[in-house]
Structure 1
Amino acid sequence: MYLLIPGRHHLLTDFQFKYLNRLIKCKLEGEIDVYGTPLVPQEIEGVIFAVTSANHLGTKRNPVPFYLRAMIIQEFSNSLDVPAFVYGIDDVGVITDFSEYTVKTIRHSSEGAHALTPENTIVICSTGVKEMYLHHGFKVLPAEWDPATNQFTQPMPWDIVKQIAQAGEWRKNKTILDQMHPASFKIWSLYGVGEKVQHILKDPIIGADGDLTATRDYNVYVKQMDDIAALKYRETAPYIQPGTIGDIGCAVGSWIKMACEDDRLHECDFYGIEVSRHLYDICLQRKHNGEFANPSVFFSQKNAVTSLVFEAGSMNTIHTSSLTHEIESYGSREDLIAFIRNRYHELVPGGVWINRDVVGPENKEETILLWLNEEDGQNDILMPENAGTHELAEYLGKLSTLALFKRFAQDFRQHEGFKLPHEWVNIDGKTYCQLTMQNACEFLFKKDYHDNWLSEMHETFCFWNYNDWKSALEEAGLRLDNLSNTYRNEWIVKNRLEGKVQLMRPCKNNVPLPIPFPVSHMLLMARK
């Protein structure tokens, strides 16, 4: 008879060892299942650990990588009288019967050696997952859970993980030391897991599965990133300093891929940092596919806001693109300042941080008038209820520019508690929206992101202008190179703005005068 223990297994507890040791040595004698039924005494042949979410790491839900979890289990099992087997079970999203998927994965991974059935396996599970195994006829032992009182009698492993996250000096915490099995303590200490877990679980920006936003359509996003990768590289390539080169927020690694093909950089080392688990997985797959001409390419899933992601004083070039506005949007101003300071500390003297992103207009505080076309679409259609990404994009695409602005005014940073200050004025029979240049530009430069509307409505583009950036960089100790510049995306002006919107400035004779569309992007070279 086998014992199957499914779970994420970030650590193992002292209780778990004593419980397993008792089951094995006493051959199940006197044990009862979750229904209170006594089990038939019999020999235990082995213990099988099904490590779920094995393909996840560095996230709040799964902070510890699979290889370390497997090491903990092996160390833990050395003192058991029977062999232990470890099988990784990938996270595959929400499926109706994860227990069946787990059993099939173990059979496949073991090449049939462990074909688990209710006749040869007893499951140990104290969470709601047990219901899936009971449905298939498996007997289930309750472990930490008491069926009589419907309560947990012992701390769950994840409870101890959360204690460590809040404990400060966790290695000297008596409660943690009493509950955590020595095998877990050994691996966690040896590899600094506790400190990493504290860092990850306290992160204020990243969600449970390692993403900034849960509303982004990554199929659309990845295509957009690849489509403009060549443009990004052409703009930034002249300023790259050879040596150790990092790309923070590397998305799917497209910028690094092009840099690897640059003859000037063939002896460089490249480090890609990506916080999104989904995009990080794509980077690893592309590396496995041999898509990078330079073998010295390394990817890590980390958050560059709250700490250094490269060694201090190690980087010749750091590249970021379309990232800093996301830090302001999903984090805070303090997070953005911390991000800038971290880049300063990572650069070698003379090193350069190349930052390509959107930027606010110089006159962002000025109150202006915005004319909006009401004849280039529909004005009276209601947004469908509970619309998915594609249904919402289809609806937005039917709206006139005026109607789209009204939708924008309702949605823009609503979840952050922001209400767009604006009012409607009529001058000589024409209606204009009166608002600040900053808020007008927020609309102008994100109004066409229909495919990712819900995600984009969280993001602010125009919070700082060029001079604001210059001041913040200098305060951190960086010097803004004279080659740095702001510019206007003329394609956007021609294809998305002209004929749809017009910026106007009120004049004394009450006749609004058109003003040019402002800059939309910046390319900053910040040197240490």
Structure 2
Amino acid sequence: MYLLFPGRHHLLTRYQKEYLLKLVKHGLSETLDVFGNPLAISKPPTAIIFAVTSANHNNTRRNPLSLYQRAMMIQDFSRELELPSYVVPIDDIGQSPNFASYTLKKIEVETELKVSLTTENTIVLCSTPVANLYLKLGFKILPVEKVPGNKLEFFAKLPWEELEEIVLKRKHSKQNGNDFEKTKNPKNDLPKSFEEFLSEDWKQLDPASIRLWKDYGLFEKVDMLFADTLIGDDGDLTESRDYNTYVREMDEIAELKFHETKPFVKPGRIGDIGCAVGSWIKLVCSDQNYLESDFYGVEIARHLFQICEQRKENGEFINPNVFFLRKNAVSGLVFPKLSMNTIHTSSLTHEIESYGGRDQLISFLQNRFEELVLGGVWINRDVVGPEEGENEVWVWMEEDSSTNFSRSPEEFPNFKEYLDSLSTKERFFQFQRDFRKEEGYVLRASLFYVDGIEYHRMKLKDICEYISKKDYTDNWESEMHESFCFWSFNDWKKNLESIGFRISPKSSEYRNEWLVKNRYEGKVKLFTSNSDNPVKKEDLIPLDFPVTHMLLLAEK
């Protein structure tokens, strides 16, 4: 009789060990199922199958451990059970009513059809609502930590609850000045003050978990993952991004990035932080000047990191010394101090400001400075705000392209079609309502008529935010979180120089003329005025569209 134990298995507890030992030693006959009834099965357990779910995910709050680390822990954990145990990886398929049946099929495939789990030869061990999926298939369920019956009561904490409590206590301990990483217990080399601080809670973990988490420094890793406000529970920067659109856009501009940055890339150790799908590295490592260099692509978004790994496996990178890391460049150093000759980022720093805030952006700048060798360069290509962005301007917006006819968003198949039906002026009002609303930003604009023509008065940086995003109707929700104009080019230089960087005179700010010609002209006109209340057309002074992008070369 197989025991199927599905779960993410990032921690294993003493309670789980004791529960399994009882099943092995005393059999299944008197064990109570999830309803509180004896199983009445005379056959003894013959093997335990640990179905490790989300096996293809790691380095996130929900899934901090890699598959190989979980497998090592399970095998260590199982040595006392005196029963064959098998680790079977189950990749994530999201929230699916067919997850249980998928798991069974996956086990059959992973064991090369040698193990076929049925309701006749398998008992499922599960204490979470996932058990209901197996019940629907006719399997008998052992509730492990859960008290049998309808009440939501438990004999012991679930492993994930243990982990969250430990992380919380570590956080509080650090905030109170306890540095338990530096104080060691000479008997077992565990952090003494931390062990004492946790008291009985530490003892709930199985020794196999303690050994793995201690030897691989996993508590410190999880401290970082849980403290990071920039990345979601599943390791993505934003849950609203359409990655198909995003990847296509990144690939389309890879050549432009390469040719714009190539003259400034220094050979040696070259890192691309926020490397997306690795397109920039692919182009640089193909250049004869960098055949002896080592390349490190850093990407935190799980979906993009997986694409990078697949491209490497496909042999798309000419240089064999291309490595991809799934790390967060905001929370700490990505590379060792004084180790990198070139660091490249593109369209990343504005996202850190937008999703993480100013403190995290400053931390990011400081980390890059620490990582570079003397003479190394950080090439930062990104959007930039206008100088004097707080100054007010008068804005004319076209309104003849509307096909909306006062219809609400609910009357359209999707929000994109609703946005596309709006004129430039109508879409601005939607932007005004949506832009960084969750962050508490208020975009203020006043209505003026000059010679009978409608204008809107607002800050220069606000209209620049709008025109830079107004055409991204297929990714509107994500774009509404992102701030492009928080710093001007001079603001960037001052902040980097305060950290210790020298700004190369070859750095530049520029205007994307394609955007001006194809997105701005005919849609928006900008004006300044010598009068606070212009009344005739002559009072308005035409203003060119400001810069949109920068290439910032920060040298150490």
Using the alignment, how far apart are the partners of 1:178 and 1:153 within structure 2?
16
Three-state SS of the structure 2 residue aligned to 1:486 is strand
1:379 Cα deviation after fit? 5.6
Give per-residue Cα distances to partners, 1:188-230, cap 9 Å, x unaligned: 1111111111110121111111111111111011000000010
Find the counterpart in structure 2 of residue 334 from structure 1.
Answer: 359
Greater CA deviation, 269-278 or 505-514? 505-514
The alpha carbon displacement at 1:387 in A equals 6.9
Per-residue CA distance 1:212-249 (angstroms, 9 max, x = gap): 11111110110000000100111111100100011111
Structure 2: which amino acid aligns with 1:23?
Answer: L
- In structure 2, how many angstroms separate the alpha carbons of the residues matched to 1:386 and 1:56? 39
2:363 and 2:548 map into 1 onto residues whose CA distance is 24
- Counterpart CA distance in 1 for 2:493 and 2:382 is 14
Which residue pairs with 1:113 in the alignment? 114
User: How far apart are residue 398 of structure 1 and its match?
Assistant: 2.2
Match of 2:465 in 1: 442
1:277 counterpart residue number: 302
| Mapped contact 1:275–1:302 kept (Cα < 8 A) | yes
Percent of aligned pairs sharing the same letter: 52
Q: Which residue of 2 aligns with 1:38?
A: 38
2:169 to 167, 170, 173: 167
- Amino acid paired to 1:18: E
Partner of residue 344, structure 1: 369
**1:382 maps to what in 2?**
407
Q: 2:493 aligns with which of 470, 489, 499?
A: 470
**Could you say what secondary structure the match of 2:80 adopts?**
coil
- Deviation per CA, 1:380-437, whole angstroms, max 9, x where unpaired? 433423977xx22222222211111111111111111112111111111111110011
443-452 or 461-470, which deviates more: 443-452
- The one-letter amino acid of 1:472's match is N
- Identify the residue that residue 144 of structure 1 maps to in structure 2: 145
Q: State the distance in 1 between where 2:100 and 2:36 align.
A: 22
Aligned in 2, Cα 1:518/1:150: closer, same or farther, shift over 3 Å? closer
2-side partners of 1:481 and 1:98: how far apart?
A: 55
Match of 1:23 in 2: 23
Distance change in 2, residues 1:383/1:306 (3 Å): farther
Tell me which of 502, 523, 526 is aligned to 1:503: 526
CA contact under 8 A between 1:7 and 1:52: conserved in structure 2? yes
Contact 1:249 1:273 in 2 (8 A): yes
Separation in 2 of the partners of 1:524 and 1:380? 45
Equivalent residue number for residue 98 of structure 1: 99
Structure 2 residue identity aligned to 1:518: P
Amino acid corresponding to residue 27 of structure 1 in structure 2: G
Rounded Cα–Cα distance in structure 2 between residues aligned with 1:447 and 1:41: 68
> For 2:469, what is the secondary structure of its paired residue?
coil
* Distance in 2 of aligned mates of 1:421 and 1:379: 24
What amino acid is aligned across from residue 277 of structure 1 in structure 2? R
The reply to whether residue 266 of structure 1 matches residue 291 of structure 2 is yes
Query: 2:177 — aligned with what?
Result: none
Report deviation, 1:160.
1.5
Q: Structure 1 residue 426 and structure 2 residue 426: aligned?
A: no
* Matching of residue 190 in structure 1 with residue 209 in structure 2: no
Residue 145 of structure 1 aligns to a residue whose secondary structure is: coil
Q: Would the aligned equivalents of 1:379 and 1:402 in 2 still touch at CA under 8 Å? A: no
Q: Helix, strand or coil: the match of 1:440? A: helix
Q: Which of 331, 343, 361 is matched with 2:386 structurally?
A: 361
Counterpart Cα distance in 2 of 1:387 and 1:313: 55
Q: Which residue of 2 aligns with 1:70?
A: 71
Higher mean C-alpha displacement, 322-331 vs 443-452: 443-452
Distance 1:207 1:96 in 2: 24
- Whether 1:412 and 2:413 are equivalent positions in the alignment is no
Bigger drift between 406-415 and 141-150 goes to: 141-150
Farther off after superposition, 34-43 or 214-223 = 34-43
1:370 aligns to what SS in structure 2?
Answer: strand
The amino acid that maps onto 1:48 is I
When the two structures are superposed, what TM-score results if normalisation uses the length of structure 2?
0.92
Which 5+ residue runs of structure 1 have no aligned equivalent? none
The equivalent residue for 1:487 is 510
Whole-Å separation in 2 of the counterparts to 1:82 and 1:17: 12
Give the 3 Å change call, closer, same or farther, for CA 43–13 of structure 1 in structure 2.
Answer: same
Q: Is the 2:273–2:345 Cα contact (8 Å) retained in structure 1? A: yes
- Bigger Cα displacement from structure 2, 159-168 vs 241-250: 159-168
Q: Distance in 1 between matches of 2:403 and 2:34?
A: 61
How far residue 475 of structure 1 moved from its aligned partner, in angstroms, is 1.4
Give the 3 Å change call, closer, same or farther, for CA 263–176 of structure 1 in structure 2: farther
SS at match of 1:316: strand
Once the two structures are superposed, the pairs formed by residues 193-208 of structure 1 within 5 Å of their partners are 193-208=218-233
**Residues 346-395 of structure 1 deviation map (CA, whole Å, 9 limit, x = unaligned):** 1111110000000000121111101101113336433423977xx22222
CA contact (8 A) 2:146 2:152 kept: yes
The aligned counterpart of 1:526 is 554
Residue equivalent to 2:176: none
Tell me, what secondary structure is at the counterpart of 1:237? Answer: helix
Q: Structure 2 CA distance, aligned partners of 1:386 and 1:476?
A: 52
Q: Residue deviations 1:474-503, cap 9 Å, x none?
A: 111111111111000000001111111111
Deviation at 1:296, TM superposition (A): 0.9
Counterparts of 1:176 and 1:226, CA distance in 2: 49
Q: Secondary structure at the match of 1:151?
A: coil
Which aligned pairs between 1:195-234 and structure 2 lie closer than 5 A? 195-234=220-259
Out of 91-100 and 233-242, give the one that drifted further: 91-100
CA deviation map 1:41-89 (0-9, x unaligned) = 3221110000000000111111111110000000101111111000000
Aligned residue in 1 for 2:187: none
Count how many residue pairs are aligned between Structure 1 and Structure 2. 526
Match of 1:158 among 157, 160, 169: 160
Whether the 8 Å contact between 2:412 and 2:418 is mirrored in structure 1 is no
* Matches of 2:133 and 2:510, distance apart in 1: 58
Mapped contact 2:398–2:523 kept (Cα < 8 A): yes
| TM-score of the superposed pair, with normalisation by structure 1 | 0.97
CA distance, structure 2, for counterparts of residue 175 and residue 373 of structure 1: 68
Shift of the alpha carbon at 1:113? 1.5
Deviation of the 1:175 alpha carbon: 2.9
Give me the whole-angstrom Cα distance separating, in 2, the residues matched to 1:378 and 1:363.
36
2:540 pairs with 512, 516, 523, which one?
512
CA root-mean-square deviation: 1.4
Task: Please give the alpha-carbon distance, in whole angstroms, between the structure 1 residues aligned to 2:409 and 2:399.
Answer: 21
The letter for the 2-side match of 1:57 is N
Name the CA distance, whole Å, in 2 between partners of 1:312 and 1:380. 59
